[in-house]
Amino acid sequence: MAGKRLPDSELELMMIIWDAEGSVTRSEIEDRLPAERKLSATTVLSFLSRLQEKGFLEVERDGKTNRYRPLVEKETYLREESRSIWKRLYQNSVGNFMTALGSGEELSDRDLDELQEFLDRQRRGRS
């Protein structure tokens, strides 16, 4: 899976599959798509086929129905994708990342509290 970045459309289906916590059918996936994002069955099947080819999904036959199960864990993919974004967009620099956040006005007090808690945990983990 390393280095396999999913297009938004395929990632959207993977998020649905990951959140289902088990195997799901095409129609169950379609039912969970946002109303404004309804896709045809053919399009969904095409995305699912690509995800299978990329090694993200396993297809199990259940009678006449295919059930799709993730082969890649959500946390694993998100961690690798985050590292990739960090490297590509911010050149592994906290300073570049903080500059991108701007003056911080976009961040709520809750966001800042979460960031501080994360930093505190990281620092404690080093001692």
Helix (H, G, I), strand (E, B) or coil at 73: coil
Residues 63 and 90 in one domain: no
pLDDT for res 59 = 96
16-49, pLDDT tens digit by residue? 999 998 899 999 999 999 989 889 999 999 999 9
Of the chain, the percentage scoring pLDDT greater than 90 comes to 54
Whether the model pTM is above 0.85: no
Residues 117 and 84 in one domain: yes
pLDDT for res 2 = 47
Give the mean model confidence (pLDDT) for residues 49-71: 96
Phi, psi (deg, nearest 5) at residue 60: -115, 135
- Give how far Cα 28 sits from Cα of 17, 23, 43, 46, 114, Å: 9, 10, 14, 16, 34
* Residue 110 CA from chain centroid, whole number: 23
Give the mean model confidence (pLDDT) for residues 85-101: 80
Residues 58 and 104 in one domain: no
Locate 42 and state its tokens.
């053919």
Quote the longest CA-to-CA distance of the chain. 57
Range of the domain at 20: 8-70
Q: Is the pLDDT of residue 10 over 80?
A: yes
Residues 79 and 116 in one domain: yes
Q: Looking at the 3D structure of the chain, how many domains does it have?
A: 2
Residues 18 and 65 in one domain: yes
What rounded mean pLDDT belongs to the chain? 89
pLDDT for res 93 = 82
